[in-house]
Copies of this chain bind each other. A is one copy, B any other.
Amino acid sequence: MKNQQIVLNERPVGIPQPMHFSATSNEIDLSPGEGQIAIKNLYLSIDPAMRGWVSLEENYLPPVEIGEVMRSIAVGEVIQSNHPNFVKGDCVYGMFGWQEYCVVDVATPMLRKVNPNIAPVSTALGALGPNGLTAYLALHEIGQIKSGDTVLISTAAGGVGSIAGQIAKLMGCTCIGLTGSDEKVALCLEEFGYDHAINYKTCNNLEDKIRELAPQGINVFFDNTSGHIADSVYPALALNARVIQVGTAAIDNWETSPSGPRRDRYVLTKRLTIAGFVILDYIAKFPETLAQLAHLFQEGKLNYKESITDGLENAPMALTNLYEGLNKGKQLIRIC
């Protein structure tokens, strides 16, 4: 069987562009070995973390090699099974890569079945998958959110941010979102339940605006961006605030060691706690958290938004556009 793939062609400096990837194909034998299943991918995920995955900078996973299929989580359909727990037609989630087909061992980390009766299966890549898990676990495990906290979320309308805002609201927090367009400000307010949302691109003085909206200070900063956006938040943090470093989307390139205002004085005088969140550290908590997210969804308490682009060949461009902030909600590729 011919299998269309997108491989890493060249290592980007900064934001990955379509030229850094190549469309190619290989011949794949779809007969699974013992304990394996063959999968046809349905949806691929486009994630901010991918920039880190294609870089040689130190990271929580080894870099994707040149010539290797681009790493990606995906949702697919089992087309052949050689394991008793899986049958043809099952919907599965896992690290299947930017390609049409794959054959994987069922013991592959993170592989799990997706129940199509709870929500559209694409949500397993977003609200009821890594984005929901990240939002929920980061807010609880590191953010220690509690009712009455004022929570500020950057990339507020994105795949993770949009869920984080809703979960913080459900916990009784006041939520402020930072996002990059008026259209996304409206989404934050109308779809995702934020109390306030700011277009950081058109705001004259972001620091003052945040102070105005949170006169008592920000208790929890869910930081998806780092960079100048975060620089405007630190002075407005409250005593004992928690900063969750979930991503660094506003920094194009860490290889040149970007500079910014030192924060150590805030850390000391405000007794901040800053900690990094990587979802892979919390695998043991996935089942109960996914059940909790599904429950919220079924009760109608969790909105989500997807940007779906058709065609495997469009995955690299969708990734580039993600860093431009052109997506609204979770960016996906649908394989037709």
Contact = CB atoms under 8 A, between A and B. Distances in A.
Nearest to A227: B262
A128 to B, nearest CB: 24
Contacts of A261: 257-259
B264 A272 contact: no
A226 B262 contact: yes
Interface residues of A, number: 36
Contact of A278 (B245, B258, B262, B271): B271
Nearest to A247: B268
A62 to B, nearest CB: 12
A269 B230 contact: no
A271 to B, nearest CB: 4
Nearest to A226: B264
Most buried by B among A267, A270, A278, A281: A267
A277 interface: yes
Nearest to A57: B265
A282 B282 CA distance: 31
Contacts of A223: 264
Contacts of A274: 267, 272-275
Contact of A251 (B227, B262, B277): B262
A230 B52 CA distance: 24
Contact of A277 (B227, B248, B268): B268
Nearest to A242: B275
Contact of A270 (B247, B251, B276): B276
A130 to B, nearest CB: 15
Contact of A265 (B254, B259, B268, B273): B254
Given A226-B262, A261-B259, A268 B276 contact: yes
29 contacts: A52-B269, A57-B269, A59-B269, A226-B262, A226-B264, A226-B265, A230-B264, A245-B267, A245-B268, A246-B268, A247-B268, A248-B264, A248-B265, A251-B262, A251-B265, A254-B265, A257-B262, A259-B262, A267-B274, A267-B275, A267-B276, A268-B276, A268-B278, A270-B276, A271-B276, A271-B277, A271-B278, A272-B276, A273-B274
Interface of A: 52, 57-60, 223, 226-227, 230, 245-248, 251, 254, 257-262, 264-265, 267-278, 281
